[in-house]
Amino acid sequence: MPSLPLPSLAPLGPGLVTPACPSPTPARRTLDRLAVDRLLLDSLALDSLLVHRPALGGPLGNAVASGSLSLTRWRLAAWDELRRVFPRPGHAAAAAGLAVASATLASLGLLAAAAAAEATAAGAPAAELSPDATLAELAATDGPVAVVSPPPGPADPGAEDAPGETGAAGDHTHAPAISAPTPAGATGVPGLRRIPSGADHPPAAATPAPAPEPPGTSSLSRVSRSQLPAAPPPPSLAAPAPDQLTAVVPTDAGVLPLGKGMWLYVPEEIEGGSVDALVARARQVGLTHVYVRTGSSRGGFYAQPYMDELLPKAHAAGIRVYGWDFPYLDDVDADVARALAAITHTTPGGERLDGFAADIETASEGTNLSAEGAAAYGQRLRSAVGPAYPMVAVVPRPSANMQGRYPYAAVIPPFDAVAPMTYWLNRQPDTDVINDIGFLASFGKPVLPIGQAYDGGPEGGRPGPPPSEEIQRFLGAAHQVGAAGVSLWSWQHASQAIWDTLQAAPEFRWESGLPGELRSGQVRALQGQLSRLGYPVAATGTWDEATTGALRGYQERARLPRSGVLDAPTLAMLLEPFNPPVGHVPGSAHP
């Protein structure tokens, strides 16, 4: 993403660093992040109301919804860019200015719609609904229009750390920085927090909603606070109930690795061993997840130090991390125990893997493969982790020859999805992936093909990593025949041309939008994720009433407005990494 122009701005509120402060302290940077993120969260929450088309209705509602989504996309792009370069002086103030300006523009549509509804209820003439009146009222205000709670902290944000601001070890207690490990219950998305697994609802927000005014009394303008004629707001625009004021990330069921991913094999050969560089490239390319090797029957569970660094940084950037292991199946119980060690490993900051993939190979790779052994491994692992933990079976591509040799029917059932190793070597990527998905779809699991990004020459394929054209054909064909997500093997082997192709590809992107704006692959991914989260809907790639109902069910669970639309707050919630439950969770979406 190209850098956005960042104007020099005056201070916009408490806790904001301006260009006049070239070296902000860690405490001030934390407050800056909070202030900027709170501004953006408030504007995104407003967007979720703007896209609630049934509430607004008619041409006005359609225009407001469309305009709001455009503003949301622009605002999120600006937010992403600002967070990427945040430590540089002055960017906090610029980000706050962008947030306030865009939130104000988005507010105009809602203000006009609310004013229209109120005036209609009060019997006001149409002449009083002029947008010019709203703009004039807005211009008459004394300061920026934004519903923002100031971040916690001292009245003078420029002061050095004061007693009580830091813990014993010097950690700031107000909130973690964006790049810091996420503590239990917190999230990488500002303003969101997680519901503990199995809990129906967290405690209500500490600040109660204001009491409604008695019928017939005057109310204040949303902009200038001047007196307006009394009129009850329409039900859909009424203030939410107190237990709906805080958005939460439901964590009672883990999610699958949908979207675009990459496989990590030898950490030292990935971006020079730099986790920061890995995360930066993943964000630039648009990856939603990575798979990290955690161990094997020969090497044991050895990835703890790397996981301790990778998990908090990837999660803070919104990237999920799935572990993968190579069980040789000589000792099934030992293989299951090693997988559990990786699945339950917790970093010092409280992070865990987002799911687990078992690479169940053939005898040619040294695996003691049998239908009985493979089935026992999957069943025992499933029994240990419970039904809500995401598990992926990695299997050889089902060529005509392999279909008669590999026990797919024994391997796949305990897993939530299946990932065939679709390495086309000297064949064609599109024909291979179409064949693989066509065969594996009969097992009733989402199919997540793994494409070739390495030199297939030593295995009898064309020399060198596949060219861009082959990667494009793999992605396009996988999308066309219903893949739920894709990934490439492997990070350390991929050429720059492959990275560029992956970044430019429109397939397997997560984007917010109205139902008619989403591509079939995006709808299919949403349907698959909702089903995994306990809101079943057929993954057809076509938006229907069942999809709207399932999405509203998830939004209600997450305490978001039940718009039935994949708006920006809902998308952020769906993509937020969290620790999936291990073991049976009473009251979860999975029995």
Residue type, 467: P
Q: Structurally, how many domains does the chain consist of?
A: 2
pLDDT of 314? 98
CB 453 within 8 A of CB 490: yes
- Please report the pLDDT score of residue 583 as a whole number: 87
Say yes or no: 263 and 404 in one domain.
yes
Return the beta strands (E) in 102-222 as ranges.
Answer: 193-195, 219-220
**DSSP-based three-state secondary structure for 438:** helix
Q: Is 304 contained in some domain?
A: yes
Q: Which residues of the chain have a pLDDT value below 70? A: 1-245, 584-591
In a domain, 584, yes or no: no
In a domain, 170, yes or no: no
Both 131 and 278 in one domain: the answer is no
In a domain, 540, yes or no: no
Last residue of a domain, one of 104, 139, 174: 139
Q: pLDDT tens-digit profile of 528-546?
A: 999 999 999 999 999 999 9
Question: Is 225 contained in some domain?
Answer: no
Find the distance separating the first CA and the last CA of the chain, reported in whole Å: 43
Q: How far is CA 28 from the centre of its chain?
A: 27
Beta bridge mates, 291: 263, 322
For helices 91-122 and 58-84, what crossing angle results, to 10°? 170
Number of neighbours of residue 45 by Cβ within 10 angstroms? 19
Domain end point (choices 90, 110, 139): 139
Does 502 map to a domain?
yes
For residue 253, the model assigns a pLDDT of 93
Specify the pLDDT at position 501. Answer: 98
Shared-domain flag, residues 129 and 264: no
Is 525 exposed, middle or buried (CB count within 10 Å of its CB: 0-12, 13-18, 19+)? buried
Burial of 174 (0-12, 13-18, 19+ CB in 10 A): middle
Give the per-residue pLDDT at 264: 98
Distance CA(31)–CA(346), nearest Å, equals: 28
Whether residue 530 lies inside any domain: the answer is: no
CB 96 within 8 A of CB 157: no
Same domain, 405 and 265: yes
What pLDDT is attached to residue 129? 37
SS3 call for 395: strand
Domain range enclosing 103: 9-139
Query: pLDDT value at position 276?
Result: 98
Q: Classify the C-alpha dihedral 166-168-171-176 as positive or negative.
A: negative
Long-range residue pairs from 465-472, CB within 8 A, at least 24 positions apart, any chain: 465/493, 465/494, 465/495, 465/497, 465/498, 466/424, 466/429, 466/498, 467/497, 468/497, 468/498, 468/500, 468/501, 470/424, 470/428, 470/429, 471/429, 471/498, 471/501, 471/502, 471/505, 472/501, 472/505
The pTM of this model reads 0.63
Given 91, 119, 139, which residue is the final one in a domain? 139
Same domain, 121 and 265: no
Same domain, yes or no: 307 and 442: yes
Domain harbouring 503, CATH code: 3.20.20.80
- Which pLDDT score, from 0 to 100, does residue 67 have? 55
Q: Answer yes or no: do 488 and 345 share one domain.
A: yes
Quote the pLDDT of residue 238.
37
In a domain, residue 515? The reply is no
Per-residue confidence (pLDDT) for residue 62, from 0 to 100: 53
- Predicted pLDDT of residue 43: 55
Tell me the C-alpha distance between 356 and 471, whole Å: 25
